[in-house]
A and B are shown apart, each in its own frame.
Chain A
């Protein structure tokens, strides 16, 4: 099997697994317990918190452990909204290509009477122009939430530029860094980030754990009530093994980010070059401002789910933004936002690789994708119309 869906989730690293094991059957006390055995657990998670904070250049108390990226996004946005509301500020700025954890939370706030401005991204690249964010800020703006890197097309947004604009305007800046964290160095101070969401399983850590970095002057609103954990901001007994695994994975990932990137870029670019040979195809997202492991293409005349199933038959795990894989009638909102029309957006393929993938695997993926695309085109009435001139090629 060739696993090329690391934007969905990753294999846990041995370092992360080993860091978790002692906290399952040896140091298993409740960190809230008074006795020394419980305090041992407490010390472990506080050490994990410090190490994570050090890697982001923030204070340990500014890290809140959550169940993952979605919870962190929810808590960040709801907290900023509640703070804004108190001052009569009910305007939030975000973008059209955010993850649903952000967009659905914003929809909920809209129903409460918040005004939401979604910045449109540049066609093809998916890049956000920081000037557009600046122009959208109003006296009532209480939050700007823009993702660090996009989960589908891999575009890395100009976060420090947006951070500087928000700082100058005195508006809270949150970034969903689920796809970026562990894949590049992030410095929340230097980049003027007030809040940042992270999920461990995107960088070889365990599933079901993540954290929210939130600047100490921001008063958080609870999403989960019922306990004094996480300074009273997130109730529930801490998932100690997962926290320890996350901290170990994060350290490993951040410390190796540059080396991994150097290994990944030639593989990614070989994959892009290979898939570009397929006629009537197009790459989605920015070429230069792109996550080192992300490849995303649209192939005209075919549909993504059948492409994925046939790639699966050839032992390749990949992903698509077609309607059939999204469970709705519309293809990916991200592909639509960068200007792909429905007909073409249905035929998308996302491959997300890691430093563990080999050149041979890349060659195999290219060969298999070429075969499957050709096979599906040969049974597609859309393709027949395209090649006979009855329908005009879009790509």
Chain B
């Protein structure tokens, strides 16, 4: 049995929306190099809609695949919809991830939330702090502490 599903390998080998947006309206970055994964999400936003999204990821196969899938799931969506994206949705869309790789999908969810928060703050838009807390962090770094 392969380590990853066909879907994961497809998104890893042919990542969608990879790259940077120089004049992005929102940028979010989570994770750190010490842990071994960093995800950075760039968005172009018009009329409350994500018209373009790109990502850069330093990380393992499932981190790259999760970023790719997450960007696909929010592209063209309203900000309010993007806010409801969960790591579970990313995992399911990838036809599952190995148990010790679930944190990669969590990171993808957080990278998007972090970008949206960046947008709200930049544009002085009020947002729900329970959904977008001050410290959006890569949870798995703290798991074993």
Interface residues of A (CB under 8 A from B): 301-306, 309-310, 313, 322-324, 327, 329, 331, 341-343, 346, 379-384
Residue of chain B at shortest CB distance from A383: B58
* Chain A residues with CB below 8 A from B143, complex form: 329
On whether the beta carbons of A346 and B36 are closer than 8 Å, the reply is yes
* Chain B residues with CB below 8 A from A329, complex form: 35-36, 140-141, 143-144
CA distance A187 to B38 in the complex (A): 49
Chain A min CB distance to B32 (Å):
8
Residue-wise interface mask of B (35-75) relative to A, using a CB-CB cutoff of 8 A (1 in contact, 0 not): 11111100000000000000011111101100000000000
Any A CB within 8 A of the CB of B25: no
CA distance A202 to B16 in the complex (A): 41
On whether the beta carbons of A342 and B57 are closer than 8 Å, the reply is no
* Chain A residues with CB below 8 A from B19, complex form: 379
CB-contact partner of B60 in A305, A341, A381, A384, under 8 A: A305
Residue of chain B at shortest CB distance from A308: B61
On whether the beta carbons of B56 and A384 are closer than 8 Å, the reply is yes
Given contacts A303-B58, A324-B101, A327-B100, 7 further A-B contacts (CB under 8 A): A303-B36, A303-B60, A305-B60, A309-B9, A313-B13, A380-B38, A381-B40
On whether the beta carbons of A384 and B20 are closer than 8 Å, the reply is yes
* Chain A residues with CB below 8 A from B40, complex form: 381
Interface residues of B (CB under 8 A from A): 9, 12-13, 15, 18-20, 29, 33-40, 56-61, 63-64, 100-101, 140-141, 143-144
A346 touching B12 in the complex, CB below 8 Å, given contacts A303-B58, A379-B18, A379-B56: no
* Chain A residues with CB below 8 A from B64, complex form: 306, 379
CA distance A305 to B20 in the complex (A): 23
Residue of chain B at shortest CB distance from A377: B58
* Chain A residues with CB below 8 A from B35, complex form: 323, 329, 342
The DSSP consensus for interface residues of chain A is helix
* Chain A residues with CB below 8 A from B141, complex form: 329
* Chain B residues with CB below 8 A from A324, complex form: 36, 59-61, 101
A342 touching B38 in the complex, CB below 8 Å, given contacts A305-B60, A327-B100, A379-B64: no
Chain B min CB distance to A118 (Å):
21
* Chain B residues with CB below 8 A from A327, complex form: 100
Q: Can you give 10 contacting A-B residue pairs, CB < 8 Å?
A: A303-B37, A303-B63, A306-B60, A324-B101, A331-B36, A379-B56, A380-B56, A381-B58, A383-B58, A384-B20
Residue of chain B at shortest CB distance from A394: B33
CB-contact partner of B34 in A301, A310, A342, A379, under 8 A: A342
Chain A min CB distance to B14 (Å):
11
Chain A min CB distance to B107 (Å):
12
* Chain A residues with CB below 8 A from B60, complex form: 303-306, 322, 324
* Chain B residues with CB below 8 A from A380, complex form: 38, 56-58
CB-contact partner of B59 in A306, A341, A383, A384, under 8 A: A306
* Chain A residues with CB below 8 A from B39, complex form: 381
* Chain A residues with CB below 8 A from B57, complex form: 379-381
Chain A min CB distance to B111 (Å):
10
* Chain B residues with CB below 8 A from A301, complex form: 58
* Chain B residues with CB below 8 A from A384, complex form: 20, 56
Residue of chain A at shortest CB distance from B98: A327
Chain A min CB distance to B114 (Å):
12
CA distance A310 to B64 in the complex (A): 12
A302 touching B36 in the complex, CB below 8 Å, given contacts A313-B13, A327-B100, A329-B143: no
